[in-house]
């Protein structure tokens, strides 16, 4: 039975294990990339993997913009909280919840897609985009590439839409920086909550689940200290969700979605 670094120093084994699981369980975010480019063949493979993800009713309500131009990456980095790795990565993929395709289809057919105005359809767009992008992350890892998601593209969604010439009824959901991991980056497999905190059997038991948080706080605090980062998990969660001031402008997202043609009523 393999002991899993995903759970830190907690004793946790896995009896069912194969190459796919090893790949997934060894995933980490990469924010420092080597000089090698991501080839067109690799990009094609990533998109093929993304398109192999499940999609609600086969709507396929997403698109992805591959950005390689250094100046455009630099502008996107500035919009995404000035995160330098966005510009440094050889490939930056911007994943787009795309309800514009269905609306254009309706316009050509001379009909309506009134359901696209509702929150359910917007949620489908975001969920399916995330499923597709996660497939691409696993595929990238299998090719020896590293990646990191960038939610900060939602800090300035209007400006990102202009930069990428996004059509109406679409919105950039997150970015994904992709490239060869730089071996000098100090990073590891970050421990997650123990399964007892997230896995419920038959019914949700908050008391039992939450009893695991204290030990996890200690474990993650020790992990963070190895890389010069302060704080435990609970503190970071509370700080991140404190209020509008902690959301980097994203508290205005509902109004932005309406402005971009996703009213989500």
Q: Give the mean pLDDT of the chain.
A: 94
- Classify residue 88: in a domain, yes or no: yes
- Classify residue 107: in a domain, yes or no: yes
- Classify residue 214: in a domain, yes or no: no
Q: What share of the chain is helix, strand, coil (3-state, %, to 5)?
A: 50, 15, 35
What local confidence, expressed as pLDDT, does residue 187 receive? 86
What local confidence, expressed as pLDDT, does residue 12 receive? 63
Q: Residue ranges of the alpha helices (H) in the chain?
A: 19-25, 40-51, 70-79, 84-88, 100-109, 119-142, 157-163, 195-198, 206-210, 213-226, 233-240, 253-259
- Classify residue 6: in a domain, yes or no: no
What local confidence, expressed as pLDDT, does residue 111 receive? 97
CATH number of the CATH domain containing 181: 3.40.109.10
What local confidence, expressed as pLDDT, does residue 4 receive? 72
- Classify residue 164: in a domain, yes or no: yes
Question: Which regions of the chain are under pLDDT 70?
Answer: 1-3, 9-13
pTM for the model stands at 0.94
- Classify residue 153: in a domain, yes or no: yes
- Residue 56's domain spans which residues? 29-187
- Classify residue 216: in a domain, yes or no: no
What local confidence, expressed as pLDDT, does residue 239 receive? 94
- Classify residue 177: in a domain, yes or no: yes
What local confidence, expressed as pLDDT, does residue 5 receive? 78
What local confidence, expressed as pLDDT, does residue 1 receive? 53
Say how many domains are in the chain.
1
What local confidence, expressed as pLDDT, does residue 11 receive? 55
């Amino acid at each position: 039975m393999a002991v899993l670094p995903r759970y830190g120093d907690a004793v946790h084994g896995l009896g069912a294990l194969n190459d796919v699981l090893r790949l997934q369980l060894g995933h980490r975010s990469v924010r420092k990339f080597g000089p090698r480019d991501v080839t067109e063949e690799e990009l094609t493979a990533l998109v093929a993997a993304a398109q192999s993800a499940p999609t609600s009713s086969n709507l396929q309500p997403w698109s992805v913009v591959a950005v390689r131009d250094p100046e455009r990456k630099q502008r996107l980095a500035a919009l995404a909280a000035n995160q330098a790795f966005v510009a440094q990565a050889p490939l930056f993929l911007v994943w787009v919840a795309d309800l514009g395709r269905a609306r254009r289809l309706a316009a050509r057919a001379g009909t309506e897609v009134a359901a696209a105005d509702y929150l359910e359809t917007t949620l489908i767009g975001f969920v399916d985009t995330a499923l597709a992008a996660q497939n691409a992350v696993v595929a990238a890892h299998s090719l020896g590439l590293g990646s990191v998601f960038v939610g900060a593209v939602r800090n300035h969604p209007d400006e990102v839409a202009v930069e990428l010439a996004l059509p109406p009824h679409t919105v950039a959901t997150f970015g994904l920086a992709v490239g060869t991991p730089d071996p000098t980056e100090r990073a590891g497999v970050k421990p997650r909550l123990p399964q007892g905190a997230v896995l419920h059997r038959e019914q949700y038991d908050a008391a039992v689940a939450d009893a695991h948080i204290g030990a996890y706080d200690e474990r993650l605090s020790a992990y963070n200290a190895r890389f010069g980062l302060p704080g435990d998990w609970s503190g970071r969660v509370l700080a991140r969700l404190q209020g509008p001031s902690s959301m980097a402008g994203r508290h205005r997202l509902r109004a932005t979605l309406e402005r971009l043609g996703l009213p989500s009523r």
